[in-house]
Chains A and B, each alone.
Chain A
Amino acid sequence: MEKLEKVQQMITNKLDNKTAWERLSLARMIERPTALDYIDRIFDSFLEFHGDRYFGDDPSVVSGIGLLDGNPVTIIAHQKGRNTTENIKRNFGQPNPEGYRKGLRLMKQAEKFNRPIVCLVDTPGAFPGIGAEERGQGEAIARNLIEMSNLKTPIISLVIGEGGSGGALAFAVADEVWMLENSVYSILSPEGFATILWKDSSRAKEAAEIMKITAKDLKGYGIIDKVIKEPSGGAHKDLDKMASAIKKELIDSFGILKKQPIDELIQKRYDKFRGMGNYIE
Chain B
Amino acid sequence: MLNNFFKKTKYITVSQQSLRRTEENSDNKPSIPDGMWVKCGSCSKVLYKSDLDESNKICNHCGYHFRLNARERINITIDKDTFKEFDYNMISDNPIGFEGYEEKTKKMKHQTGINEAVVTGMGRVSGTEVVICVMDSNFMMGSMGSVVGEKITRAVEKAIDLKLPVIIFTASGGARMQEGIFSLMQMAKVSAAIGKLGEEGLLYITILTDPTTGGVTASFAMLGDIILAEPGTLVGFAGKRVIEQTIRQELPEGFQKAEFLLEHGFIDRIVPRSELKGTLKKILTIHDRNR
A residues at B contact (CB < 8 Å): 126-130, 132-139, 141-143, 145-147, 149-150, 165-166, 169-170, 172-173, 185-188, 192-193, 196-197, 210-213, 217-218, 221, 223, 269-270, 273-274, 276-281
Given contacts A133-B243, A134-B264, A193-B177, contact A142 B90 (CB under 8 A): no
A-B residue pairs in contact (CB < 8 Å), sample of 18: A126-B237, A128-B239, A128-B242, A130-B247, A132-B237, A136-B264, A136-B266, A138-B217, A138-B236, A139-B222, A142-B187, A166-B215, A192-B242, A197-B177, A210-B98, A277-B146, A277-B149, A280-B91
Interface of chain A, main secondary structure = helix
B contact residues around A139 at 8 Å (CB): 222, 266
State the CA gap A264–B109 with chains docked (Å): 40
Nearest residue in A to B89 (C-beta to C-beta)?
A: A281
Q: B185 touching A279 by the CB < 8 A rule?
A: no
Q: Are the CB atoms of A273 and B188 closer together than 8 Å? A: yes
Assembled-state Cα–Cα distance A176/B187 (Å)? 17
Type the 1/0 row for B237-251, where 1 means its CB is closer than 8 Å to any CB of A.
Answer: 111001100110101
Whether A138 contacts B181 by the Cβ 8 Å rule is no
* A216 and B289 alpha carbons, distance in the complex (Å): 49
For the complex of A and B, the 4 pairs showing the least CB-CB separation, nearest first, are A128-B238, A277-B146, A138-B217, A149-B192
Contact B256 A142 (CB under 8 A): no
Most buried by B among A138, A143, A278: A138
Nearest Cβ in chain A — how far from B100, in angstroms? 10
User: Are B195 and A146 touching (Cβ within 8 A)?
Assistant: yes
Q: Bound complex: CA of A213 vs CA of B38, how far in Å?
A: 43
Determine the chain B residues whose CB is within 8 A of the CB of A172 once the complex forms: 188
Asked whether B199 lies within 8 Å of A150 as measured between CB atoms, the reply is yes
CB distance from B212 to the nearest CB of A (A): 9
Q: Does B184 contact A (CB under 8 A)?
A: yes
| Contact yes or no, B247 A188, CB < 8 A | no
Interface size class of B (residues with CB under 8 A): 35 or more
**B88 nearest CB across to chain A (Å):** 10
Asked whether, in the complex, the Cβ of B192 is within 8 Å of the Cβ of A187, the reply is: no
By a CB distance below 8 angstroms, the chain A residues around B92 are: 278-280
Give chain B residues whose Cβ lies under 8 Å from the Cβ of A132: 237-238
Given A129-B243, A276-B189, 12 more A-B residue pairs with CB atoms under 8 Å apart are: A130-B252, A133-B255, A142-B187, A143-B222, A165-B215, A187-B175, A213-B180, A274-B153, A277-B95, A278-B93, A278-B179, A279-B92
B138 within 8 A of partner (CB): no
Report how far A278 CA is from B146 CA in the complex, Å: 6
Q: Identify the B interface with A (CB < 8 A).
A: 87, 89-96, 98-99, 145-147, 149-150, 153, 175, 177, 179-189, 191-196, 198-199, 214-215, 217-223, 235-239, 242-243, 246-247, 249, 251-252, 255-256, 264-266
Could you tell me the distance in whole angstroms from the C-beta of A273 to the nearest C-beta in chain B?
5
On chain A, the residues within 8 Å of B179 by CB distance are 187, 278
Determine if A133 and B238 form an interchain contact, defined as CB atoms under 8 angstroms apart: yes
Most buried by A among B175, B179, B182, B264: B182
A278-B215 in contact (CB<8A): no
CA distance A280 to B87 in the complex (A): 10
Q: A136-B266, A280-B92 are in contact. Are A130 and B251 (CB under 8 A)?
A: yes
B192 and A173 contacting across the interface, CB-CB below 8 Å:
yes
Decide yes or no: A270 and B196 within 8 Å by CB, A138-B237, A210-B98, A277-B189 being known contacts.
Answer: yes
Which residues of A have CB within 8 Å of B95?
Answer: 221, 277-278
Nearest chain B residue, comparing its CB with the CB of A134 = B264
